[in-house]
Amino acid sequence: MNTIGKVNGIIANLVIVETEGTAAQNEICFIEHDNTRLMAEVIKIMGNKAYAQVFESTRGLKVGAKVEFMGHMLEVDLGPGLLSKNLDGLQNDLDKMEGVFLKRGEYTHALDDHKTYGFVPLAKPGEKVTAGSWLGEVKENWMPHKIMVPFKMEGEYTVKSVAKEGEYHIHDTMAVVTDKEGQEIKITMTQRWPVKVPIRAYKEKPRPFKIMETGIRVMDTLNPIAEGGTGFIPGPFGSGKTVLQHNLSKNAEADLVVIAACGERANEVVEIFTEFPELDDPRTGRKLMERTTIIANTSNMPVAAREASVYTAMTIAEYYRAMGLKVLLLADSTSRWAQALREMSNRMEELPGPDGFPMDLPAIISNFYSRAGFVYLNNGETGSITFIGTVSPAGGNLKEPVTESTKKAARCFYALSQARADSKRYPAIDPIDSYSKYLEYPEIAEYLNDKIASHWTENVFNAKTILLRGREAHEQINILGDDGVPLDYHLRYWKSELIDFVILQQDAFDKIDASTPLKRQHYMLEKVLEICDMEFKFENFEKVNPYFKRVINQLKQMNYSEYESEQFKKNEKELETIIQERKTA
């Protein structure tokens, strides 16, 4: 028998329930209202009073409304059929909902009960299995989707039988296993899992040692993110967080991408599900939408479900990681999730931490980031979740609780600069403030030098130094005036501009420039560094600016052309001519 209760207080979406029996922290309950049932989550218990955040509008709700406690935390369905879906933060399938407007109390299934999947068995009778072991495989879109021993099953089991190759529904029995006592357990294609609990069906989580190619030069070349790594993108509004994340979701070298649109604009989600079904995945030639799942809790959707949305997304990512896939998880914006926590904490009159955020915000954020990672599964295969979140600092000031907490949790920092965005230097990632801790990992350096070129990391640090010296020179020029500094300062500055314009800046909306494969990044960096190494003769400083603009122009035209095409080579030749005009050594 489920515990029942009655509503006794209502403040916006916080409801206080008098319970008749036991209730648990984070337990899900349903509130009866107007022939619908409103879903809510217990977030505090005081005596016989349970404080619940309602995932819906509470308009019209009255004291005395009946409440039923469900005996479990917020759970999602895991199984084939999650890919290409548009889900809300509670995993309802938005496409299955009727009408133009979201109706409260309407919950729809993420998985398709009537669809069949072609199953191929992987395990054999007699095999010993544990949670996460692969029993068979179906094709989801084109992706191999493993049917696993449910993560909730503790201990070791023995496979008794596995279904034969064929077409099955998701609720059909795909395998029967027996536990130590010989009890039989039927396993289907689906299982449920509580989103706030990490899925730990793997053997080991080593330090990441490979990089994830994103096609974005300022990331891959300057501050690469590891496969299974974590990163975050703080930036004031309009600095390019969302465009950067969309670009990552299009071009990053991942098997699949889970996007949590958390408390941001609905039109940005519309953009994804309008464009992705048309766009090709450059690696597989399939449509991008086939490898993408969207979890949308936009800013006008219920605030409490915002927090749920990032956990739902993470859980889906963990599910696919357990199949040995390379998952990219993106959340835009984690600040909205933190704000949702703040709203509830304020309503419960908890003692506030800095800026009114809950005291345990840093712990919540670091626990979440720690769910990403590269893992060795129990069968020796590998899987990964690379997680990149955006942060929207109030007033663009990075000294605020969400940014500071995230900085402690994430290993890559891609700081978007207002000044760069204002001058349309996109992506506006500040090349000097940003960092990737992974560059300091010897195993990553080794990987890069092995994969790209033996002196690659040396080149990268070289480029960073040129950028830094360029900035210093520019500051001096601004203080002392163009003719108040030696000519060499102008050269230094313009060499850094060369790197800025050709390597850092990248047009996200240009067919060709939007994504640059590592090989091409290597070629262009070599080319630019070669020029930076040269000595040039100039009669006076006035000649430096127009000359470098011509150099930059040729290199930019190369960025806009197909790699190694006629046009590309033509510009390269012209570049050579321009260089010969003034090169002395």
Q: Which stretch binds Mg ion (CB under 5 A): 107-115, 240-248, 504-512, 519-527?
A: 240-248
Instruction: Select from 79, 136, 240, 470 the one that contacts ligand ADP (CB under 6 A).
Output: 240
- CB distance 289 to 273 below 8 Å: yes
Query: Which of ligand ADP, Mg ion, other proteins, none is residue 298 near (CB under 5 to 8 Å by kind)?
Result: other proteins
Would you say 223 or 554 has its CB closer to other proteins?
554
Least Å distance between CB 265 and other proteins? 7
DSSP 324: T
The size of the chain, in residues, is: 585
Least Å distance between CB 439 and ligand ADP? 23
* Rg (alpha carbons) of the chain, rounded to whole number: 27
DSSP 341: H
Query: Which of ligand ADP, Mg ion, other proteins, none is residue 355 near (CB under 5 to 8 Å by kind)?
Result: other proteins
Residues in 288-327 that interact with ligand ADP by CB under 6 A: none
Query: Which of ligand ADP, other proteins, Mg ion, none is residue 542 near (CB under 5 to 8 Å by kind)?
Result: other proteins
Would you say 117 or 413 has its CB closer to Mg ion?
413
Query: Which of Mg ion, other proteins, ligand ADP, none is residue 484 near (CB under 5 to 8 Å by kind)?
Result: other proteins
Q: How far apart are CA 541 and CA 506, in angstroms?
A: 28
Query: Which of Mg ion, ligand ADP, other proteins, none is residue 427 near (CB under 5 to 8 Å by kind)?
Result: ligand ADP
Q: Quick check: 237 binds ligand ADP (CB under 6 A)?
A: yes
Would you say 91 or 292 has its CB closer to ligand ADP?
292
Q: How far apart are CA 190 and CA 174, in angstroms?
A: 10
The type of residue at 252 is A
Residues in 425-464 that interact with ligand ADP by CB under 6 A: 426-427
Q: How far apart are CA 427 and CA 371, in angstroms?
A: 28
Q: Which stretch binds ligand ADP (CB under 6 A): 2-10, 79-87, 503-511, 536-544?
A: 503-511
Query: Which of other proteins, ligand ADP, Mg ion, none is residue 94 near (CB under 5 to 8 Å by kind)?
Result: other proteins
Instruction: Select from 221, 242, 315, 335 the one that contacts Mg ion (CB under 5 A).
Output: 242
Would you say 92 or 242 has its CB closer to Mg ion?
242
Least Å distance between CB 217 and ligand ADP? 11
Q: Which of 202, 561, 134, 163 is nearest to 385 (CA)?
A: 202
Least Å distance between CB 301 and other proteins? 6
Q: Quick check: 508 binds ligand ADP (CB under 6 A)?
A: yes
In a 10 Å sphere around its CB, with 0-12 CB exposed, 13-18 middle and 19+ buried, how is residue 68 labelled? middle
Least Å distance between CB 363 and other proteins? 20
Query: Which of other proteins, ligand ADP, Mg ion, none is residue 97 near (CB under 5 to 8 Å by kind)?
Result: other proteins
Q: Quick check: 246 binds Mg ion (CB under 5 A)?
A: no
Q: Is the Cα torsion angle 211, 213, 214, 216 positive or negative in sign?
A: positive
Query: Which of Mg ion, ligand ADP, other proteins, none is residue 155 near (CB under 5 to 8 Å by kind)?
Result: none
DSSP 561: S
Would you say 30 or 134 has its CB closer to other proteins?
30
Q: How many CB atoms are closer than 10 A to CB 203?
A: 13
The type of residue at 39 is M
Q: Facing residues of 194 across strands? A: 75
Would you say 246 or 411 has its CB closer to ligand ADP?
246
Q: Which residues are within 8 A (CB) of 570 and not within 5 positions of it... i.e. 6 or more apart?
A: none
Q: How far apart are CA 352 and CA 365, in angstroms?
A: 17
In terms of C-beta distances under 8 Å and separation of at least 24 residues, what long-range contacts does 21-28 make, across chains too? Answer: 21/69, 23/50, 23/69, 24/69, 24/71, 24/73, 26/73, 26/74, 26/194, 26/196, 27/69, 27/70, 27/71, 27/72, 27/73, 28/69, 28/70, 28/72, 28/73, 28/74, 28/75
Query: Which of ligand ADP, other proteins, Mg ion, none is residue 60 near (CB under 5 to 8 Å by kind)?
Result: other proteins
Site string for Mg ion, 278-307 (x = CB under 5 A): ------------------------------
27-33 vs 143-148, strand pairing mode: unpaired
Q: Quick check: 513 binds ligand ADP (CB under 6 A)?
A: no
The type of residue at 115 is K
Query: Which of other proteins, ligand ADP, Mg ion, none is residue 240 near (CB under 5 to 8 Å by kind)?
Result: ligand ADP
Q: Quick check: 176 binds ligand ADP (CB under 6 A)?
A: no
Query: Which of ligand ADP, Mg ion, other proteins, none is residue 235 near (CB under 5 to 8 Å by kind)?
Result: ligand ADP
Greatest Cα-to-Cα distance within the chain, rounded to the nearest angstrom: 90
The residue to which tokens 């400083």 are assigned: 541
**Is-cis flag, bond preceding 352, omega within 30?**
no
Residues in 47-86 that interact with ligand ADP by CB under 6 A: none
Q: Where are the alpha helices (DSSP H) in 279-390?
A: 304-321, 334-347, 361-369
Q: How far apart are CA 460 and CA 387, in angstroms?
A: 23
Buried b (16+ CB within 10 A) or exposed e, 337-351: bbbbbbbbbeebeee
Would you say 101 or 509 has its CB closer to ligand ADP?
509
Query: Which of Mg ion, other proteins, ligand ADP, none is residue 534 near (CB under 5 to 8 Å by kind)?
Result: none
Query: Which of other proteins, ligand ADP, Mg ion, none is residue 9 near (CB under 5 to 8 Å by kind)?
Result: other proteins
Least Å distance between CB 415 and ligand ADP? 12
Instruction: Select from 217, 241, 411, 495 the one that contacts Mg ion (CB under 5 A).
Output: 241
Which residues contact Mg ion by CB under 5 A?
241-242
Which residues contact ligand ADP by CB under 6 A?
235, 237-243, 426-427, 507-509
